[in-house]
A = this chain, B = another copy of it.
């Protein structure tokens, strides 16, 4: 492979706060237009954050799960949509297992010059969330030395901004991923994304029609012990904490927006900032507690994994999601109109925070699985 060298990013709190601020400065506008958040992505790239998980053997810094989480919290605090693009990319680099060498080399080379995004493309319209089971209908078929990819995918975050697609597909017998460069002929984007939040994430539908890739671009995923394929995204691992991390950033942005409003709002009838009232202080404390809880759950779970313990990572992710939503909803509920008006950023943070629920694992599935496991254990 090439002998690229990716910079070791400055991960101090101060440095990350600067990146957050830069990304935040364009977030409201991208939220409004839904355009690809190019400036935010560029800012994250310039700070070296988008290649932070490139492995050492590829010349990257190879930062671990905890530092990756801090990076994504910082980016998500600036712009949740940029955070989602970055989370998917950092996870791709961190787990880099099975791409054709030339493809990954190309991704890295492009990443040296500017942001080069990659993302797993899994959901299909008919299938529902792959995390709930079900096999892909998207196919790879042999055609000479090549493979042809055909299928219709949904919720493909990154849209036309993706350099590479990691497409969940089947060759009829095996299930796995096929790596597809984003500029191949036969790829058609359908701009379906129109969500409450993460509006600039460009999580559109995409159709593959006889998209040609080399034979080595397809790699099977491991089957479960029962021989059944399962969506890898459904299995919570330390590497899957990028999503919760970015939404913790959203909650932090909501906390900051709440505090800034409380310090500056001086109702005529009160004569001082509402931040001086016990009620607003108690609300601020509750927001803070929820964020402290989310952060300790995230970093605590990763530290427990490092220490050789086996926390139930899916349950932890659900708990983080609850805290993120609680923090943000608490801020909004306390302010009335200013929490709901688009003239303040809190309204956007609420819309973004609610999107944490769309990422696997799904709360009800986790709770039911945990309960079944518990009740089936031999009585202690």
Contacts and interface: CB of A to CB of B under 8 A. Distances in A.
A195 B341 contact: yes
Nearest to A369: B285
Interface in A266-316: 267-270, 275, 278-289, 292-293, 295-297, 299-301, 303-304, 307, 309, 311-312, 315-316
Contact of A296 (B259, B279, B300): B300
Contact of A259 (B288, B351, B374): B374
Interface in A316-338: 316, 318-319, 332-334, 336-337
Contacts of A25: none
Interface in A252-268: 255-256, 259-260, 262-263, 265, 267-268
Nearest to A281: B371
Interface string A349-380: 01100110110001110111111111101011
Interface residues of A, number: 88
Contact of A299 (B263, B275, B309, B354): B309
B129 A336 contact: yes
Contacts of A194: 341-343
Secondary structure of the A side of the interface? Answer: helix
Given A134-B269, A269-B127, A377-B259, A300 B289 contact: no
Contacts of A269: 127-128, 132-134
A286 B371 contact: yes
Interface string A26-55: 000000000000000000000000000000
Copies of this chain, count: 4
A87 to B, nearest CB: 17
Interface in A126-144: 126-129, 132-134
A286 B370 CA distance: 8
Contacts of A15: none
B311 A292 contact: yes
A79 interface: no
A171 interface: no
Contact of A315 (B293, B301, B380): B293
A129 B304 CA distance: 34
Given A315-B288, A379-B260, A380-B17, A368 B296 contact: no
B315 A282 contact: no
A197 B196 CA distance: 11
Contacts of A307: 303
A374 B255 contact: yes
Contacts of A285: 366-372, 374
Interface string A152-167: 0001000000000000
B333 A375 contact: no
Given A127-B269, A372-B281, A340 B197 contact: yes
A63 B369 CA distance: 35
A296 B369 CA distance: 19
Contacts of A380: 17, 256
Contacts of A368: 278-279, 281-282, 285
B259 A128 contact: no
A192 interface: yes
Q: Which 9 A-B pairs have the closest CB atoms?
A: A300-B300, A285-B371, A128-B267, A134-B269, A284-B371, A285-B367, A281-B371, A303-B303, A285-B370
6 contacts: A128-B267, A196-B342, A282-B364, A288-B312, A288-B371, A296-B301
